[in-house]
Amino acid sequence: MPITKQGWELLVTRLGLQSRGGVTRTYASYQAFRDGVPVAGLSGHLCECKGPGDNEHPGSGKRIKAGRYSLSTQFGTKYKTSDFATGASGKASRPMPGLLLERTGKRSAILIHPGHMPKLYLSSIGCLNPTQPLRAADNMTFVESRARVVALIDDLRAFSPQSFRKAENTRIPNAFVVIEGEPKDAISDGEALDPAVA
């Protein structure tokens, strides 16, 4: 599903699966766009649960289906789009920064949020964890992952400041996550670290 080149879009391209010690994650690349123009500094990789994509079974522990999802601010107890913990200590103090994906079928609380302890290999039951490039054996780094989420939030705040005026879940107009791919096969470490693949 290509981006429409209108508004704010985060294109997530699923590249393949990574496994370590009996745990499997989906590994993807991401790039943010404004009206089809890549936003400098807002690109990297993401970790999600393994597939197949499932929007019908709450708590399935699977990634969501490939598709187009509207974005909202998030104000829960664990994750918030503003007034989150500073993270200055390097610890995953709550609330952590996060954004909410909407129109996810019967799945709820599907967020973009940092990879964090105690599960730095995959901090997700369906959510998206931004990260630097990773080999199959690598953990995410909380501070690095958190910085990526904050950068996305900051750019969305600049794009739609009115959506951030209230500390309550608010749809961000013309802001979407576009997820491509339903990979079943492993991605090699060489491919995972290759900028040309991302």
Instruction: Convert the pLDDT of each residue in 133-142 to its tens digit.
Output: 999 999 999 9
Which segments within 5-137 are labelled E, that is strand? 8-20, 23-34, 37-49, 67-73, 79-80, 96-97, 99-101, 111-112, 129-131
d(CA 55, CA 33) in angstroms, rounded, equals 25
Residues 6 or more apart whose Cβ sits within 8 Å of residue 108: 58
**Per-residue model confidence as pLDDT tens digits over 86-103:** 876 777 889 999 999 999
**Per-residue model confidence as pLDDT tens digits over 56-71:** 999 899 999 999 999 9
**Taking 90 as the threshold, does the pLDDT of residue 13 lie above it?**
yes
d(CA 94, CA 115) in angstroms, rounded, equals 13
Q: Percent of the chain, pLDDT > 70?
A: 99
Residue that has been written with the tokens 């991401």 in this structure = 30
Q: What are phi and psi of 57, to 5 degrees?
A: -120, 105
Q: Do the Cβ atoms of 32 and 9 come closer than 8 Å?
A: yes
Report helix, strand or coil for 170.
coil
Going from N- to C-terminal start, the domains of the chain cover 8-192
User: What pairs with residue 16 in β-bridges?
Assistant: 27
Q: pLDDT tier at 196 (50, 70, 90 boundaries)?
A: confident
Average pLDDT over residues 17-26: 97
Whole-model pTM: value is 0.96
